[in-house]
Amino acid sequence: NAGVTQTPKFRVLKTGQSMTLLCAQDMNHEYMYWYRQDPGMGLRLIHYSVGEGTTAKGEVPDGYNVSRLKKQNFLLGLESAAPSQTSVYFCATSGPGATAPFSYEQYFGPGTRLTVT
Amino acid sequence: EDKVVQSPLSLVVHEGDTVTLNCSYEVTNFRSLLWYKQEKKAPTFLFMLTSSGIEKKSGRLSSILDKKELSSILNITATQTGDSAIYLCAVEDSYNTDKLIFGTGTRLQVFP
């Protein structure tokens, strides 16, 4: 059981480039989330998904898009990267026992460190 | 605006000490409060609290919620160097968007 995995682990982008971060889970969880973590800011929710084919905006969605075409994968896209998107990105999932997206403990992936120059 | 505030921001103690970490919140429609421990990478779940006054315990860690004071504490007794981490508090707001709002964390350093 790999749990929650994220690829890539590290990435450096130039301003204006695009990229996709992949989150994969093998726990059969319904709910998946993308967070960013910045110094002094805590974790902030970017987008989340309550099931295959669904997505919803979180606290800081601007500049990001997401897709959940398969239950086990949640993709985070940056269409035109900006230096303000330099951050550590965490994916998380929650599953059986959850009555609503945030009503149960979340399992986090190892994170992706993204630098935009 | 909804917010979660943790204190202290940073704490340095010696092994064996007992520490208390605080989390206070202002959230429109409270559903639950969660504590996470973050070491080098991803946060790991510690506790979920939904009812006031009921202590949750796991080994040397315990936590309790006070809905009247809009706060929670996380206690760690007989601290060990392995307890060194950032402790994150998060509150679930069930109103409309079901947001989970994180505090900025308390950095705990335990020295031998």
DSSP annotation of A64: -
Q: Model confidence at A80, in pLDDT bands (50, 70, 90)? A: very high
Nearest to A105 among B4, B34, B42 (CB): B34
- Any CB–CB contact under 8 A between B34 and chain A? yes
Residue length, chain A?
117
- H/E run at residue A15: none
In 3D space, the residue among A38, A100, A15, A61 whose CA is nearest the CA of residue B98 turns out to be A100
Task: Say how far apart CA A48 and CA A46 lie, in whole Å.
Answer: 7
Q: Break chain B down into helix, strand, coil percent, rounded to 5.
A: 5, 60, 35
In chain A, the percentage of residues whose pLDDT exceeds 70 is 91
Q: Which residues pair with A65 in a beta bridge?
A: A77
Task: Say how far apart CA B67 and CA B37 lie, in whole Å.
Answer: 22
Q: Is A9 left (phi over 0), alpha (psi -120 to 50) or beta?
A: alpha
The residue with tokens 């949640």 is A74
Q: What's residue B98's pLDDT?
A: 56
- H/E run at residue B76: strand B71-76
**Domain A4-116 indexed as CATH 3.30.830.10:** no
Q: Model confidence at A106, in pLDDT bands (50, 70, 90)? A: confident
- Any CB–CB contact under 8 A between B102 and chain A? yes
Tell whether the model's pLDDT for residue A1 goes beyond 70.
Answer: no
Task: Say how far apart CA B48 and CA B35 lie, in whole Å.
Answer: 7
Between A20 and A28, the higher pLDDT residue: A20
Distances (CA, A) of B36 to A59, A65, B111: 19, 27, 21
Between A3 and B20, the higher pLDDT residue: B20
Give the tens place of pLDDT for each residue, A26-53.
988 888 999 999 987 788 889 999 889 9
B1: chain A residues, CB-CB within 8 Å: none
User: Total domain count for chain B?
Assistant: 1
Task: Say how far apart CA B29 and CA B68 lie, in whole Å.
Answer: 14
Q: What's residue A11's pLDDT?
A: 95
| Structural domain boundaries enclosing B94 | 3-111
Size of interface A-B (CB pairs under 8 A): 55
- B16 CA to chain A: closest CA distance, Å? 28
DSSP annotation of B29: S
Tell whether the model's pLDDT for residue A100 goes beyond 90.
Answer: no
Low-confidence ranges of chain B (pLDDT < 70): 95-99
Mean pLDDT for all residues in chain A: 90
Domain containing B90 — which CATH number?
Answer: 2.60.40.10
A107: chain B residues, CB-CB within 8 Å: 45
Between A100 and B6, the higher pLDDT residue: B6
